[in-house]
Amino acid sequence: MPRALALLVLVPTLLLGTFQVLRIPGDLTEDVFWARKVEWGDTFDIVIAGDSRTYRGISPEQLATFFPAARIGNFGFSSAALAGPYVERIRSLLSPTSSRPTVVLAVTPYSLTERATLENGFISQPSGGPPLRSAAWIGWCRQFVAPLSLDEIAVMLRDRSIFVGGNIYHEDGWVESTSPVYSALPAFDWARVDFEGNPVSPLLLAGLGDRVRDWTAQGVEVFAFVMPVTPELEDLEARLSGFDVERVAEALRSAGAVWLTPPGGFETYDRSHLTAPSAIEFSRWLGRALQALEERR
């Protein structure tokens, strides 16, 4: 009888342990979020561009508290390279009637690598039409549970805790993370995989500089910075990828961008992506920085 009782408790626990419990989202599901985002048109005054650190780390709603009349969109995509079709699309999202069209480039080491040009989430994301309707149904079913990775399961077993978290998808392009902070090492492992034989490309950096030069010649204001991560991951990525923040800053400054240097101290949930409170804090820092620059002009 004790053995049967133990199994009765253990089996459901293991089954539940393979799923990530998500906060019930609003009407916008993951699949619909991405399918809509990839089809955005020329409606914005400020476009924020970058990879997953960007779409998780910058809230246009918070930025808008400093620019209430501006239409702001976070156009970040997973593994987005700041090159090719993605960069071409950024400019097209700015409204032709905007009095002050602005691009905000959130740079990461991986966004300047050749592998990112192949894995760019913008390129692989399907557009609307029938797939969008399918995505809506699939997304509705998937909004309640999502499979955990092996790394996340390992964290649960190590900490003997239930991993509760997920994402809330916002119409303005921000993905608000509800994942708890955990101290496992997967971000370090990912960095080693990401940059093995895949260093920062001088050609991609030069190409980004050319694009910024074109934009500024057309009257677009461009601001750029490196998205914050933990100091340990920042150092590791620099060593593995050859990312030199001063060289990147100079390349973009010489092309006409304004380079910003974020302060430290922002909290991540996995050493690589900001928690929701830190994303809000970072967005407000960015808003204050852009507002201060505008007031000095």
Backbone angles phi, psi at 146, to 5 degrees: -145, 140
Q: What is the pLDDT of residue 164?
A: 47
- Domain span holding position 86: 21-295
Q: What is the CATH number of the domain that holds 64?
A: 3.40.50.1110
Its pTM stands at 0.80
Residue 185 confidence class, pLDDT cut points 50, 70, 90:
low
Average pLDDT over residues 275-283: 97
- Give the Cα-Cα-Cα angle 34, 208, 284 (nearest 5 degrees): 60
Average pLDDT over residues 235-246: 97
In a domain, 129, yes or no: yes
Average pLDDT over residues 237-242: 96
Query: Alpha-carbon distance 149 to 144, whole Å?
Result: 16
The structural domain count of the chain equals 1
In a domain, 15, yes or no: no
Token output for 288: 């204050």
Residue 28 confidence class, pLDDT cut points 50, 70, 90:
confident
Contacts of 241 (CB under 8 A, 6+ apart): 109, 110, 113, 194, 195, 198, 199, 200
In a domain, 83, yes or no: yes
Q: Give the range among 82-96, 156-170, 280-294 with minimum mean pLDDT.
A: 156-170
Query: Alpha-carbon distance 183 to 269, whole Å?
Result: 8
In a domain, 161, yes or no: yes
Q: What is the pLDDT of residue 124?
A: 76
Per-residue pLDDT at 151 exceeds 80: no
In a domain, 16, yes or no: no
Residue 158 confidence class, pLDDT cut points 50, 70, 90:
very low
Average pLDDT of the chain?
83
- Residue 198: helix, strand or coil by DSSP? coil
In a domain, 185, yes or no: yes
In a domain, 235, yes or no: yes
Q: What is the DSSP letter of 274?
A: B
In a domain, 178, yes or no: yes
Q: What is the pLDDT of residue 126?
A: 57
Average pLDDT over residues 136-148: 41
